[in-house]
Structure 1
Amino acid sequence: MSTVAISASDVNKLRQMTGAGMMDCKKALTEANGDFEAAIDLLRKKGQKIAANRQDREAKEGYVFGKLAADGTYGAVVAVCCETDFVANNADFIKFGESILDLAMSNKPATADDLKSLKLGNVTVAEACVEQMGKIGEKIDVVDYQSVSAPKVVVYNHPGNKLTSMLGFNQTVSEETGKDVAMQTAAMAPVAIDKDDVDNKMLEREMEIARDQARQEGKPENMIEKIAQGKVNKFYTEYTLLNQSFIKDEKKSVRQYLESIDKNLKVTAMKRVKIG
């Protein structure tokens, strides 16, 4: 049994250090015999236990954070999830997510796993998420991280903070043009920039579905491939950015809109991050 007296100021100090509840802090300090580092470890272990118990919980809420470097050539998006909109809208949760984004902007990690291994204060991002679980009592995780480097990067945060789109261009574009195409990406959810960028497995799946539909409609076998290709072409116009109808002028494709500004203007990267 601990012989060290645990004062109210000690409890409050640990609470300020960790954000954990008063009773949890007092119990941890008592068990740790007044050792703050050991008490913090105990609280983190409590968080890990909560995390283990919540692995099967769905975390469909959260906050998507997108940010652009001052020179406009680099952008990053981080999505941090939780279980309820109450937590998602909490100022401390938002601040936590923004601190992870700032870390990403400073270090430019290649992947989400690389981001999670970076130090946020004295712990890694992954460990910080576990600590947040201990404080909040909900599953917390970095579920997506994307970055783009290009001569010109545009980041669009959709109102509500559940959706961010980010584009890279091969040259400088006006704020209006960049935002228009980024909003198109957010609203129309393209799966690729152009036809050649569509994943082969996705393309073959679309072809197979189109073939099956044609056969079910009783189309002649010698016409199946032609019909399927026609349906895939429709898929391209609906789900590839440059071939979609431009939302501000449906008489033009996005490609035609960009060419009307500058025939050499290209979209070199596209990211779309959504929660919920």
Structure 2
Amino acid sequence: MAEVTAALVKDLREKSGAGMMDCKKALQETAGDMDAAIDWLRTKGLSKAAKKSDRAAAEGLVAGKVSGDGKTGVVIELNAETDFVAKNDTFQQAARDIAAVALGVDGGVDAIAAAKTAKGEVVSDLITNLIATIGENMRLRRAARLSVSQGAVALYLHNAQGEGVGRMGVLVAMEGAGDTAKLAEVGRKIAMHVAATAPLSLSPADLDPAVVEKEREIQTEIAVESGKPREIAEKMVEGRIRKWQEEVVLLKQPFVMNPDQTIEQLVADTAKDLGSPVAVKGFVRFALGEGVEKKVDDFAAEVAQLSSQS
């Protein structure tokens, strides 16, 4: 069992928004398991947090690029140790160069790393030279590529740090015939929506079954905690699952620029305007550093330790 320290309680409080004593109780009940503690708080109605804090846990840049015909787009994440590097012109240009390479590579990070830039430099060598020049450890962490046979792929870079680079990148693939400029415009609006709402999937069918089952268990426990018999609670849960899907599935979400309209309705209206079928074929959202643990130096603790040794 992990020790329930003040730091652990503070971390849970920041992630859940729950009270300090409730966080301590949650950690005690779940043997110090952070994810389980968040779920425990939710079942008790003490937290609205469904996911971990979205604070960036790694530095660097997300770079994006769309092909000249507008039918293919890529985003890549190039990490470094400090946020100062993101402002470095050489680092920014390297991120742009790698995104340009990724446009022509139908493969993952390893394939991109082995490919050459327009200047003839292998991407892995480019990164190695950057490390030697700037003096920080770096890595090409991930990359994604979307294409359509007809239509447009839209790119949105949030919190831009320079041309073609930012702290978040979103691609949306709009498939359809007709006015590609209109499709690209709508796609960009949907990309901005994705940046703001972070949907889990495109449609209900695309949701991870394990995530759905976990949400079902949480909602069932909430209903039981309210005093309802389990058979009634289970019926209530189906409605709550549908409501949850409206919050996490892109096509079901209310459009941030017009909350009276869902993304699904926006796409249907676009199809009507163009006079031909339109569909969102996919989306990608890269937020810098998400899912990466970042070391936080406790300088006060270090000073105390040094003092005790002197």
If the TM-score is normalised by the length of the shorter chain, which range does it land in?
A: 0.7 to 0.9
Please tell me whether residue 194 in structure 1 is matched to residue 199 in structure 2: no
Question: SS in structure 2 opposite 1:158?
Answer: strand
The alignment-based identity, stated in percent, is: 29
Aligned to 2:112: 115
- Rg larger in 1 or in 2? 1
Alpha-carbon shift at residue 154 of structure 1 (Å): 0.9
- Aligned match of 2:216: 207
Gaps of 5+ in 2: 1-55, 161-165, 290-310
- Distance in 2 (CA, whole Å) between partners of 1:59 and 1:190 is 20
Q: Determine the structure 1 residue equivalent to 2:96.
A: 98
On the 8 A contact 1:75/1:155 being kept in 2, the answer is yes
Q: Kindly report which structure 2 residues correspond to 1:123-142, keeping only aligned pairs within 5 A, or say none.
A: 124-142=122-140
Partner of 1:266: 279
Q: How many Å apart are 1:241 and its aligned residue?
A: 0.8
How has the CA–CA distance of structure 1 residues 102 and 233 changed in structure 2, closer, same or farther, with 3 Å as cutoff?
same
Which of 149, 168, 181 is matched with 2:173 structurally? 168
- AA paired with 1:140? M
Aligned residue number for residue 258 of structure 2: 249
Shift of 1:109: 2.9
Higher mean alpha-carbon deviation, 204-213 vs 186-195, is at: 204-213
SS in 2 for 1:162: strand
CA apart distance, 1:200: 1.4
Pick from 62, 66, 70: which aligns with 1:64? 62
3-state SS in 2 of match to 1:266: strand
Deviation at 1:173, TM superposition (A): 5.7
- Equivalenced residues, count: 218
Aligned to 1:183: 192
Query: After superposition, what is the alpha-carbon deviation per residue over 1:155-210, rounded to whole angstroms, capped at 9, x for unaligned?
Result: 11123311111011121461432221111111111111111111112111211221
CA contact (8 A) 2:62 2:77 kept: yes
Contact 1:115–1:125 (Cα < 8 Å) also in 2: yes
Q: Distance in 1 between matches of 2:57 and 2:85?
A: 11
Q: d(CA) in 2 for partners of 1:176 and 1:167? A: 11
- 1:44 maps to none
1:183 and 1:123 map into 2 onto residues whose CA distance is 34
Give the whole-Å Cα distance in 2 for the aligned partners of 1:223 and 1:133: 60
TM-score normalised according to structure 2 size: 0.66
Residues of 1 paired with 2:97 and 2:83: CA distance?
A: 20
1:13-24 paired onto structure 2 within 5 Å: none
Which ranges in structure 1 are unaligned for 5 or more consecutive residues? 1-57
2-structure distance, mates of 1:265, 1:82: 39
Query: In the alignment, what sits opposite 1:37?
Result: none
CA distance in 2, matches of 1:96, 1:189: 27
Q: 1:221/1:59 Cα in 2 relative to 1: closer, same or farther (>3 Å)?
A: closer
Aligned CA RMSD, in angstroms, stands at: 2.0
Asked if 2 retains the 8 angstrom alpha-carbon contact of 1:163 and 1:275, the reply is yes
Give, in whole Å, the separation in 1 of the partners of 2:138 and 2:101: 17
Q: Secondary structure at the residue paired with 2:159?
A: coil
Tell me if the contact between 2:172 and 2:188 (Cα under 8 Å) persists in the aligned partners: no
What is aligned with 2:16? none
Q: TM-score, normalised by structure 1?
A: 0.73
Query: 3-state DSSP class of the match of 1:236?
Result: helix
Residue 128 of structure 1 and its aligned partner are, at CA, apart by 3.2
Distance in 2 (CA, whole Å) between partners of 1:234 and 1:139 is 44
Aligned residue identity for 2:158: H
Contact 1:77 1:146 (8 Å CA) reproduced:
yes
**Matched residues in 1 for 2:219 and 2:139: separation?**
38
- Structural mapping, 1:41-60, within 5 Å: 60=58
Aligned to 1:234: 243
Contact preservation (8 Å) 1:59, 1:140 = no
